[in-house]
Amino acid sequence: MGSEGKKMPAMIGAGMVAKTHVAACVASDAVSLKGILSRTPSKARGLAESAGEAAVYGSVAEIADDESIDFAIIATPPNVRRELVEPLANAGKHILLEKPVGRTFEEAREITDLCKAAGVHLGIVFQHRVRQASSRAAALVAESELGALALVEISVPWWRDQAYYDEAGRGTYERDGGGVLISQAIHTIDLALSLTGPVRSVSAMAKTTGLHRMEAEDFVVAGLEFQSGAVGSMVTSTASYPGGAESIVLHFECATLHLEAGQLRLLRRDGTQETFGEETGTGGGADPMAFTHEWHQGIIENFAACLDGREKLVSSGEDALVAHQLIDAAIRSAKSASKVELSP
């Protein structure tokens, strides 16, 4: 730990989301970014300069051997997660991992089990959970004053141009594990399931539209049955020009919760309405990074507090498996053209 009592993370990866993590660390009083590792050293040096006194690491082993490092932020494509997590976890380094945990449900479970066996915390960057509106929605659901949940509507009408998928490996099963579900919609799926509870069965169609040249899917529509007895729909896309805000609508007996663009509207059956949070950019359009670093900062600070036992982890590896299981089941349902039951 640093001399000022701050936690000392190292970051691995210098891609699209790395700047957001650096900005979050620089703005935080809880952490001090110790260094950055990237397969492209020039990118690591540029990020290190923007972080002040951050170092540039030459290997994962250097991070594993650095006793001053409290945890590692891993922001790489998912195809290299296992080879990074294993030596770090075995060295006692806690892991804060960008979504997804792995390319498949099985891979995600293996990484989660690996960290558990090593006795280290595994946090997942599902930053939508720390929005003010999301926290308020979770509190309202927990209070159980809304009655039984009956209907769920999940919508991710995003847009990515072809240049986005022209990057080597993007939208492939080998590097990313899939398309819109695991790379974009997983954020909204995770948040929705944290409010609804798990899904019992899914019936899905997954396709690649004529608007993209890519291996995996850019459009998925699914019917959902929840363990609670509720039913729902899920529509996700990166082919919906010009791209709009993702939304989660939960219809309860006594009220409807509508989460969209970082804002919550509570519509009670007696006609009264309440609004929480401020409308913000979400990265649903042509610029994938059109959102604030403050949500990542909230996740990073929560993880640092978790290591001291001061806070409960916002999103753990175990939590993330719920979303991974639904994504896996939806793709299997689409391939088999049949309903797929999820394990309890």
Output phi, psi for 200, to 5 deg. -90, -40
In sequence order, what are the beta bridge partners of 256? 251, 267
- Type of residue numbered 339: K
Confidence grade of residue 284 (pLDDT, cut at 50, 70, 90): low
The burial class, CB within 10 Å (0-12 / 13-18 / 19+), for 78 is buried
Contacts of 222 (CB under 8 A, 6+ apart): 202, 203, 204, 205, 233, 234, 235, 330, 333
pLDDT computed for residue 344 by the predictor: 82
97-108 residue pLDDT tens: 999 999 999 999
pLDDT computed for residue 12 by the predictor: 97
14-24 residue pLDDT tens: 988 999 999 99
- On the question of a cis peptide bond just before residue 198, with omega within 30 degrees of 0, the verdict is no
65-94 residue pLDDT tens: 999 999 999 999 999 999 999 999 999 999
- Type of residue numbered 329: A
Per-residue pLDDT at 221 exceeds 50: yes
What dihedral do alpha carbons 190, 194, 197, 199 form, nearest 10°?
0
Side-chain half-sphere of 172: how many Cα atoms within 13 Å? 9
Please report, rounded to a whole number, the percentage of residues in the chain having pLDDT higher than 70: 96
pLDDT computed for residue 290 by the predictor: 58
Confidence grade of residue 230 (pLDDT, cut at 50, 70, 90): very high
pLDDT computed for residue 3 by the predictor: 43
Confidence grade of residue 281 (pLDDT, cut at 50, 70, 90): low
pLDDT computed for residue 241 by the predictor: 97
CA–CA distance, 259 with 275 (Å, rounded to integer)? 10
Per-residue pLDDT at 25 exceeds 80: yes
- Write down the CATH superfamily of domain 9-127+300-307: NAD(P)-binding Rossmann-like Domain (3.40.50.720)
- For 304-319, what is the mean pLDDT? 96
Residue 251 and residue 151 in contact, taking contact as beta carbons nearer than 8 Å:
yes
Outline where DSSP puts E strands in 9-148. 9-12, 35-37, 55-56, 71-74, 94-98, 122-125
Please report, rounded to a whole number, the percentage of residues in the chain having pLDDT higher than 90: 90
Confidence grade of residue 233 (pLDDT, cut at 50, 70, 90): very high
The burial class, CB within 10 Å (0-12 / 13-18 / 19+), for 3 is exposed
Confidence grade of residue 339 (pLDDT, cut at 50, 70, 90): very high
The structure tokens listed for 295 are: 């949500």
What dihedral do alpha carbons 109, 125, 128, 247 form, nearest 10°?
-50
Output phi, psi for 74, to 5 deg. -105, 115
Q: For domain 129-285+317-341, give its CATH number from 3.30.360.10, 1.10.10.410, 3.40.50.740, 3.40.50.150.
A: 3.30.360.10
- For 333-342, what is the mean pLDDT? 98
156-204 residue pLDDT tens: 999 999 999 999 999 999 999 999 999 999 999 999 999 999 999 999 9
CA–CA distance, 96 with 71 (Å, rounded to integer)? 7
Structural domain boundaries of the chain? 9-127+300-307, 129-285+317-341
